[in-house]
Structure 1
Amino acid sequence: MTTAEHVTSMRDEHYNLTSVLYHTLQEAETVQRYIDDASAAGDTEAVEFFRDVQETDRQRAERAKRLLGSRLPT
């Protein structure tokens, strides 16, 4: 049994997927601040870049949710 599994009573794959989901959603929130800052500065190139990053985060979060949902007992 690994440390994470021992501490949380969650299987590693569940813990890992949950962790990726959590951190991805946090990053998407942080990137929104970057978008707002770049927008306020009139930096459209940075806004576009950060929106691309945010979309990638959104896709990653959705994939993590699907994977986690398919592995949790019902």
Structure 2
Amino acid sequence: MATGATGFSDLAYDLISVQYHGLKDGHDLDRYVKDAETAGEEDIADFFRAVMQEDAARARRCHEFLSRLTHDGAGGPAIGGESAAGGRDTGTDEGSPIVAGPESRERSAVTR
């Protein structure tokens, strides 16, 4: 499988790109639906809603494919591949605390 300059397969990058744009477009389309409703153009609002559903379906499908690549270990370092050090990439730096929210920040500051 071809690998891009990032170390990820071109296929994983392509899927991530399609997923990102579908989700971002869905966010923008919500505003378009409201604009059409404000203008009293319900058929145009319905059109934008349909496009949103199509984008969401595409994003879900990309997620399914990315999950498969992750499971197969074929996606790249962050998608089930090997880290630069040669071990399995877990997505965390050993020894550094994972910070989830304000209360975690307070706890991790105490443990440092």
Q: TM-score, normalised by structure 2?
A: 0.60
Which whole-Å CA distance do the structure 2 matches of 1:26 and 1:15 have between them?
A: 16
Q: 1 CA distance for matches of 2:39 and 2:59?
A: 29
Task: Write 1 or 2 for the structure with the bigger share of helix.
Answer: 1
Q: Deviations over 1:5-49 (max 9, x none)?
A: 11x211101100001000111111111110010011111010110
% same residue: 34
Partner of 2:12: 14
Gaps of 5+ in 1: none
Q: In the alignment, which residue of structure 2 is the partner of 1:45? A: 43
Larger radius of gyration: 2
Q: 1:23 & 1:57 partners in 2: Cα distance?
A: 8
Secondary structure (helix, strand or coil) at the match of 2:31 reads helix
Give RMSD over aligned pairs.
Answer: 1.8
Matched residues in 2 for 1:54 and 1:15: separation? 22
Which of structures 1 and 2 has the larger relative contact order (alpha carbons within 8 angstroms, sep 6+)? 1
The amino acid across from 1:66 in the alignment is E
